[in-house]
Chain A
């Protein structure tokens, strides 16, 4: 954290990923702390963290598309699913080691994403949303029909990650695979935004006209952002597939696409850290609600007929409510709240 009154004085300092040495240490310490989780916590916690991991990678991809480039996609879960199938297929069909199949699946998904991103070259806003909705349904239909690729309604088996003779087949072991992937993908995104191409993406979002007169090829970058976003979705999906060990054609529906949108809206559009914060929020919220609902059912209130009937819906309603409340009270997302909290403590006990 920056000490109060210590301002950045050079442009170089403005652009670093870690503003102070302490923040770099804090980040490393955070990763190390996470690496120690399997030694301390039980499977339940690990399962949740792994879920946050693979959804977080995919959500980051959507954030690059929506938050940084200003496009929209209602078909993100289809790309997530495509990555899962692609990785399983590459492994089953060609015997490519899973560890290699995961990034390759990402590249395959990126290629598909570029294909479905082509409409973005010509249309914007709501129209683009509808066009991406088409990609959702086309891919879902493809999953159901392409037996050679997905195994059709039977689904596809996905082998666990193995290096040499060592298989990452338990939650404790797989956790590390996901952790490494998440760190690599997040560092990749943080660096992407400091490059020439990253700046071009943000310029396309903020002022496509002024981006264009600076010689930025709008078509190229809009499609590129679909490619990058699909790459992230594909890797996330592959991690998901090899975690479950089995990929079914169900589950990659529009609901999941909307959940991805919910994650980045709650986390903060255009924020890298926000992507994982929002994912954590949406993964943990149902768990918290589950506990709350159980407590409610056990209490005297649960004996009332009306409450007992409605109790199963509480969970779903809570998620919807959370998204609405976030849009009203914190449209900039959790990442913004986090920055404000930091600023508050930096200046404590003064307000500003």
Chain B
């Protein structure tokens, strides 16, 4: 890995570290094959990769959801603030300050916006939940006007609600699974602007899984690219965005070459990192 050499200044203490994690579903399907990554405190880190590379599985390995899906970490460890998360229940992991915003939003359609937000504060018993609701609605002003059931919200509003619900738990680390899924380009920008603000203003560390590599690398400070259950490339986000291979396979343009059927062959070129 180039992580050590690429950052000249001493790296901030990692909030989250995955060391050589191997995940197996149903005792037979090997999904993660020794994945390692580091998320420094207070940063946004992007995790990119094709469909089926194991990005969501990585997040589930961290948040403890694997158990529900009959998966297990068979090797390696997940360290959060120096403590092992392997084997803990999702509930215990949420209580430690790690909150996953799932792919496809997954808000509770039969509840109002406020009830959804209160649900996010399920692990908290303090009296400041009401204040936090106000604070969250401050980040998402368009949710403030929406009464009625959350199921009637638009896709973008549901995504905002899902992020707002995460904030209600007062997490230190948010695992975000494809926040841009199914949103218009304009809304994607809005959601990413909010993600940046949360990181800057509240100091929340974010591990961002995305298909929209361009947006993700613009928001993140560091990026990992995974393929078939392993990290194949990593580096500071700006460096990754300039990498020829990343450009070709994730950003959709191969350097200066014009796209035409004539050089279609170049797209079949074997990726250099494999």
**A interacts with B:** yes
Chain A residues proximal to chain B, CB less than 8 Å: 7-11, 13-15, 196, 199-200, 202-203, 206-218, 270
In contact, A15 and B114 (Cβ under 8 angstroms): yes
Sorted nearest first, the 10 A-B pairs with minimum C-beta distance are A215-B94, A215-B123, A210-B106, A11-B114, A213-B100, A212-B90, A206-B108, A14-B112, A215-B91, A217-B91
Residues of A within 8 A of B100 (CB): 213
Least CB separation from A12: chain B residue: B114
Instruction: State in angstroms the CA–CA spacing of A9 and B113 once bound together.
Output: 13
Q: Which residue of A lies closest to B151 (CB)?
A: A206
Cβ-defined partner of A207 (8 Å) among B91, B108, B113: B108
Q: How far is the CB of B68 from chain A (nearest CB, A)?
A: 6
Check if B122 sits within 8 Å of A216, measured CB to CB: yes
Which interface residue of A9, A215, A217, A270 has the most chain B CB atoms within 10 A? A215
Across the interface, do A212 and B118 meet the contact criterion of CB distance under 8 Å?
no
B102 & A214 in contact (Cβ 8 Å cutoff)? no
Question: Of A10, A11, A209, A218, which one neighbours B106 at CB under 8 angstroms?
Answer: A209
- The answer to whether B114 touches A199 (Cβ under 8 A) is no
Of A11, A212, A213, which one neighbours B147 at CB under 8 angstroms? A11
CB pair B148 A206 closer than 8 Å = no
Given contacts A207-B106, A215-B94, contact A11 B113 (CB under 8 A): yes
Among A199, A208, A209, the residue within 8 A (CB) of B115 is A199
Q: How far is the CB of A348 from chain B (nearest CB, A)?
A: 22
Beyond A203-B111, A214-B123, A215-B94, list 9 extra A-B contacts (CB 8 Å). Answer: A14-B147, A200-B122, A203-B119, A207-B108, A208-B68, A212-B91, A214-B119, A217-B89, A270-B110
- CB of A213 within 8 A of CB of B90, answer yes
CA distance A214 to B100 in the complex (A): 8
In the bound complex, how far is the Cα of B253 from the Cα of A347, in angstroms? 56
Known A8-B147, A203-B108; contact A216-B91, beta-carbon cutoff 8 A? yes
Rounded to whole angstroms, the CA-CA distance of A6 and B11 in the bound complex is 57
By secondary structure, the A interface counts as helix
Contact status of A209 and B114, CB under 8 A, knowing A9-B147, A199-B119, A215-B90: no
Q: Is the CB of A196 within 8 A of B122?
A: yes
How many Å lie between the Cα of A214 and that of B95 in the bound state? 9
**A13–B147 CA distance with the chains assembled, in angstroms:** 9
Q: How far is the CA of A218 from the CA of B69 in the complex (A)?
A: 14
From 116 to 166 in chain B, residues with beta carbon under 8 angstroms from any chain A beta carbon are 118-120, 122-123, 147-148, 165
Contacts of B118 in A (CB 8 A): 196, 199
Query: From residue 152 to 210 of chain B, which have CB atoms closer than 8 A to chain A?
Result: 165, 169
Verify if B50 is at the interface (C-beta below 8 Å from A).
no
Chain B residues closer than 8 Å to A216, beta-carbon distance = 91, 119, 122
Chain B residue nearest to A68 (CB atoms) is B110
Q: Shortest Cβ distance from B106 into chain A, in angstroms?
A: 4
B65 at interface by CB-CB < 8 Å: yes
Closest to A8 in B: B147
- Interface residue B58 (Cβ < 8 Å from any Cβ of A): no
Are A213 and B99 touching (Cβ within 8 A)? yes
Contacts of A7 in B (CB 8 A): 147
- Note all chain B residues with C-beta closer than 8 A to A202: 108, 110-111
Please, how many angstroms separate the alpha-carbon atoms of A215 and B91 in the complex? 4
